[in-house]
């Protein structure tokens, strides 16, 4: 939408083909219906949020930055604000405000919009693209593929762009669900569904080797785990991997010493009273005590070394085995896509087919939660529209 508006503002004739009965359905559900459109973090933090794609993404985002996005939307009467966690949302807290403002711009700038037009085939002939939907065909000198990924297919994003890109000679990297919750085997924390932990530390293990340590908020769900620390790293998870949860965010040896010290001093107090000082939910303490073979009434003086060690292990290294990473139906974005090696990051133009551009999630770019995915869609859309305008002068 942004690319078509910018192209039309630049004096070009722009046609927007949309499969659905209205564009922007994914924006409407983004950020829980509030649309977390960007992030006010430093540019370095910003670029690190795209995993190994920092360099490619940096080319468009440095130029069409979060500040520029903010101004662009303010100019079309959408005020944005950064919240305490630096996430940027419309001040109204409503994603519909963003979509309505874009639709108004489409109309005002005379972008021709064809709804319920699912692009099936694209061919380049005599310096023109021939684009076919089920019933119509269109010709254009430049073409932007902005079909999104393949997550949430019910919203229109069923991965068509990958097929279209392949047919035009582009390579695809492996497609995987990202920003996805996980399911775990024998979910012994299931009764804690809904409980969240601030800044939990999660160790990721595969074949008895630690492959990563991640920190962030964690949510227990009815069938597994979610929350930013899980969503942001789900692209690295596989069935059978083990996650060790440190629910206290304190190093194991430090907590062990602390617990030893406080239980030795407080002989008559219950162990439960000591553990509860760390502000843990009662349900969690009950569950962990059961697993460690400690009764809720047990006095500190009665705590055996084995029980103490087990308690420390469960609180700082609780192991859960991943049984599944949620699939494309529930993942928020797609990792993988059109290879960025074949696309110019400054202009978004294909290095293989002149006049062909790729923007947004259809590319092999995925960001963590926090407004990074929508910002990249905006920045890459702007870059493509400006490049087309320049090449048409």
- CB-nearer residue toward ligand FAD: 30 or 316: 30
Shortest Å distance, C-beta 86 to ligand FAD: 13
Tell me how far apart the terminal alpha carbons of the chain are, to the nearest angstrom.
Answer: 22
Select the residue interacting with ligand FAD from 47, 98, 146, 314 (CB under 6 A). 146
Select the residue interacting with ligand FAD from 4, 5, 7, 36 (CB under 6 A). 36
Kindly state whether residue 26 participates in binding ligand FAD, applying the rule CB under 6 A: yes
Q: Where does 293-354 have alpha helices with state H?
A: 305-316
Kindly state whether residue 96 participates in binding ligand FAD, applying the rule CB under 6 A: no
Select the residue interacting with ligand FAD from 20, 96, 128, 262 (CB under 6 A). 20
Q: Which of 384, 268, 300 is nearest to 1 (CA)?
A: 384
- CB-nearer residue toward ligand FAD: 61 or 259: 61
- Window contacting ligand FAD (CB under 6 A); options: 24-32, 212-220, 254-262, 279-287: 24-32
- CB-nearer residue toward ligand FAD: 41 or 360: 360
Q: Which residue has the tokens 């959408």?
A: 78
- CB-nearer residue toward ligand FAD: 316 or 377: 377
CA torsion, points 186, 191, 192, 194, in degrees to nearest 10?
110
Hey, how many other C-beta atoms are within 10 angstroms of the C-beta on 38? Answer: 30
CA 255 – CA 269 distance, rounded (Å): 18
Q: State CA 237 to chain mean position distance.
A: 14
Kindly state whether residue 372 participates in binding ligand FAD, applying the rule CB under 6 A: yes
CA distances from 39 to 47, 124, 152, 362 (A): 11, 38, 23, 21
Select the residue interacting with ligand FAD from 92, 96, 100, 118 (CB under 6 A). 118
- Window contacting ligand FAD (CB under 6 A); options: 77-85, 140-148, 180-188, 206-214: 140-148
CA 361 – CA 27 distance, rounded (Å): 13
Using an 8 Å Cβ cutoff, are 309 and 136 in contact? no
Please give the residue ranges that form the binding site for ligand FAD (CB under 6 A). Answer: 17-20, 23, 25-27, 29-31, 35-36, 118-119, 146-148, 151-152, 156-157, 160, 332-333, 360-361, 371-374, 377
């Amino acid at each position: 939408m942004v690319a078509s508006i910018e192209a039309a503002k630049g004096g070009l004739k722009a046609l927007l083909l949309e499969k659905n009965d209205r564009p922007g359905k994914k924006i409407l559900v983004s950020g829980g219906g509030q649309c977390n459109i960007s992030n006010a973090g430093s540019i370095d933090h910003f670029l690190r949020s795209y995993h190994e794609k920092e360099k490619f993404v940096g080319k468009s985002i440095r130029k069409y930055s979060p500040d520029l996005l903010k101004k662009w939307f303010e100019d079309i009467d959408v005020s944005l604000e950064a919240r305490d966690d630096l996430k940027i949302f419309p001040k109204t807290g409503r994603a519909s405000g963003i979509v309505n403002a874009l639709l108004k711009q489409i109309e005002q700038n005379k972008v021709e919009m064809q709804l319920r037009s699912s692009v099936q085939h694209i061919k380049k002939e005599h310096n023109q693209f021939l684009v076919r939907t089920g019933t119509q065909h269109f010709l254009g000198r430049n073409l932007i593929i902005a079909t999104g990924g393949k997550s949430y297919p019910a919203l229109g994003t069923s991965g068509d762009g990958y097929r279209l890109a392949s047919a035009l000679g582009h390579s695809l990297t492996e497609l995987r669900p990202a920003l996805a919750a996980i399911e775990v085997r024998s979910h012994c924390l299931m009764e804690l569904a809904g409980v969240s932990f601030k800044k939990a530390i999660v160790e990721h293990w595969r074949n008895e080797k630690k492959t990563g340590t991640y920190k962030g908020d964690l949510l227990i769900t009815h069938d597994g785990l979610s929350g930013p620390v899980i969503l942001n790293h789900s692209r690295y998870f596989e069935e059978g991997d083990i996650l060790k949860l440190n629910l206290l965010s304190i190093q194991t040896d430090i907590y062990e010493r602390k617990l030893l010290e406080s239980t030795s001093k407080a002989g008559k107090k219950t162990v439960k009273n000591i553990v509860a000082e760390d502000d843990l939910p009662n349900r969690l303490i009950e569950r962990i005590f059961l697993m460690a073979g400690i009764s809720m009434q047990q006095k500190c003086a009665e705590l055996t070394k084995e029980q103490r060690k087990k308690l420390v292990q469960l609180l700082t290294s609780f192991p859960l085995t991943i049984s599944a990473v949620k699939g494309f139906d529930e993942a928020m974005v797609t990792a993988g896509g059109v290879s960025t090696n074949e696309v110019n990051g400054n202009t978004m133009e294909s290095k293989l087919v002149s006049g062909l551009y790729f923007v947004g999630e259809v590319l092999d770019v995925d960001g963590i939660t926090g407004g990074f995915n929508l910002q990249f869609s905006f920045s890459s859309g702007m870059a493509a529209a400006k490049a087309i305008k320049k090449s048409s002068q």
